[in-house]
Amino acid sequence: MSGRIAFLCFLFLIAGIGVWTQKIQAVNQPPASATAPAAATQPASTQPVAATQPVKPLTAAQIDQIMSFLKAVQPDTYHKAMELKRSDPNKFTALINKAAPSFIQLEELQQSDPLLFKLTLQDLVYTHRSFQLANQLRQPGLNSQDQQNLREELTHVVTEQFDLRQQIRQHELDQLTKKISDLKAQLDAREKERQTIIQNRVNDLIGNPPSADW
């Protein structure tokens, strides 16, 4: 399941639209150590994946879907993206097409594992909000009360995200456990049918052409 979707890559890539339009504050630009956490600290489904092969430009319908996701998880950046779409459609299209590989993986995850999709989308929301709060805390001139309030909210968000990521890990573990169980059942069944499978394979090889699956 590892690398099934690049949610964080998708987040940072789309955040670039906001930066392009109005030099958005570092809401979507966390410290370097936060943008690339160690793999062992992230659920497999939230780890960035390696770059994929170039894909065809997104259709208008796919772009609309990306914008719908963006509106749900990053409303502020969504509005900036819409500003860019109106002011420079070509630049908007170029930027949004960079998200194509991640978006395709997002679509696949939504269809193949709706629960993991829902959990990981919420993880993205928490990630965005935590960066937002951390950025506000780094602003100079905050009084002690504002600092305390922001830190408390950030702690709450991080706590919620931790619990969520535990759910994601448990879900991944459950799926792996089921897969191992299924593979063991197949192994046992094949062992019981050892001679039959061997003879069928011999007969199959004599045929033309032999099956690749046995």
Give the whole-angstrom CA distance, residue 158 versus residue 166: 12
What pTM was computed for the model?
0.64
Give the whole-angstrom CA distance, residue 132 versus residue 207: 65
Average model confidence (pLDDT) for the chain? 78
Mean of the pLDDT values across residues 112-130? 90
Give the whole-angstrom CA distance, residue 112 versus residue 2: 14
* Residue 58 contacts residue 97 (beta carbons within 8 Å): yes
Report the number of secondary-structure helices (H) and strands (E) in the chain: 9, 0
Q: What are the sequence ranges of the domains in the chain?
A: 7-206
Identify the helix (H) or strand (E) that includes residue 68. helix 60-73
**How confident is the model at residue 119, as a pLDDT?**
92
Give the whole-angstrom CA distance, residue 68 versus residue 74: 10
> Among 1, 2, 4, which residue's Cα sits nearest to residue 104?
4
Query: pLDDT digits over 55-68, tens only?
Result: 577 788 888 888 88
Please state the φ and ψ torsions of residue 23, each to the nearest 5 degrees: 45, 55
- Among 32-36, 103-107, 161-165, name the most confident range: 161-165
Residue 180's pLDDT band, with cuts at 50, 70 and 90, is very high
Using only C-alpha atoms, the chain has a radius of gyration, in whole angstroms, of: 23
> Among 121, 177, 162, 164, which residue's Cα sits nearest to residue 8?
121
**How confident is the model at residue 38, as a pLDDT?**
46
Give the whole-angstrom CA distance, residue 78 versus residue 68: 9
**How confident is the model at residue 33, as a pLDDT?**
44
Give the whole-angstrom CA distance, residue 64 versus residue 6: 19
Mean of the pLDDT values across residues 44-48? 61
Mean of the pLDDT values across residues 62-88? 82
